[in-house]
Amino acid sequence: MELIAQAVNDYIEKQYPKPEPVLEEMERLGRKRDFPIVGPQVGRVLSLLARLADAKRIFEMGSGFGYSAYWFARDLPAGGKIYQTEGSEANSKLARDFFKRAGLEKKSEFLVGDGVKLIDETTGPFDLIFIDIDKENYPSAFKKAKPRLRKGGLLIADNLLWFGKVLENNPDPETSGIKEYTRLLFQDKDFFATILPIRDGVGVGFRL
């Protein structure tokens, strides 16, 4: 299902300035590999939300080759840190290479493995947690993320509209995972939440 007309998408993205060279290369790689990066529209929203939250410590569950993490890291203050988690060692290495070339390597920890488990190996609360993993694991990610998020922090998840599949009556396991995550988020009294209908739907929960 086409959630937003392509002409509208094109119009929005024409307003943006030309991306930094490394970011532009990452976007080309995403297109070449048909790899599901969040893209510039969501990337700019992530950057804006991180700034508004004054985020200094960020944890990503599912980082790919570092595209979304790049949008977070570029605005981190001195001493800020983003923890990237990725199941593919090759993708994690690629992310490190991109970050090194962009001068952002010192702002990131590159962890290989399951982000839902790796969060247990980190210390302290986080200001922002971003979820973009296998969709059937979203409910588990929510349960792990909540106690690690400070009050006033943001819990953000990509793909909450899942190409419109969330409207189907007999969802597959991935769609079921997204719908259950959404239910958990909106029924939890410790969060004030919304879904931004950008690209494939970005869920944002503010920890009360």
Report the alpha-carbon distance of residue 161 to residue 118 in Å, rounded: 26
Place of tokens 């400070």: 150
Token pair of 117 as six digits: 């488990």
Report the alpha-carbon distance of residue 73 to residue 184 in Å, rounded: 28
The CATH fold of domain 6-207: Rossmann fold (3.40.50)
Report the pLDDT value the prediction gives residue 6, as an integer from 0 to 100: 87
Amino acid at 121: E
Q: Count CA within 13 A, CB hemisphere, residue 186.
A: 10
pLDDT per residue of the chain (208 residues) written in tens, 0 to 9: 778 888 998 999 999 999 999 999 999 999 999 999 999 999 999 999 999 999 999 999 999 999 999 999 998 998 999 999 999 999 999 999 999 999 999 999 999 999 999 999 999 899 999 999 999 999 999 999 999 999 999 999 999 999 999 999 999 999 999 999 999 999 999 999 999 999 999 999 999 9
Report the pLDDT value the prediction gives residue 37, as an integer from 0 to 100: 95
Q: What is the pTM of this model?
A: 0.96
Show me where the domains of the chain are located: 6-207
Q: What is the DSSP string of 10-61?
A: HHHHHTSPPPPHHHHHHHHHHHHHT----HHHHHHHHHHHHHHTT-SEEEEE
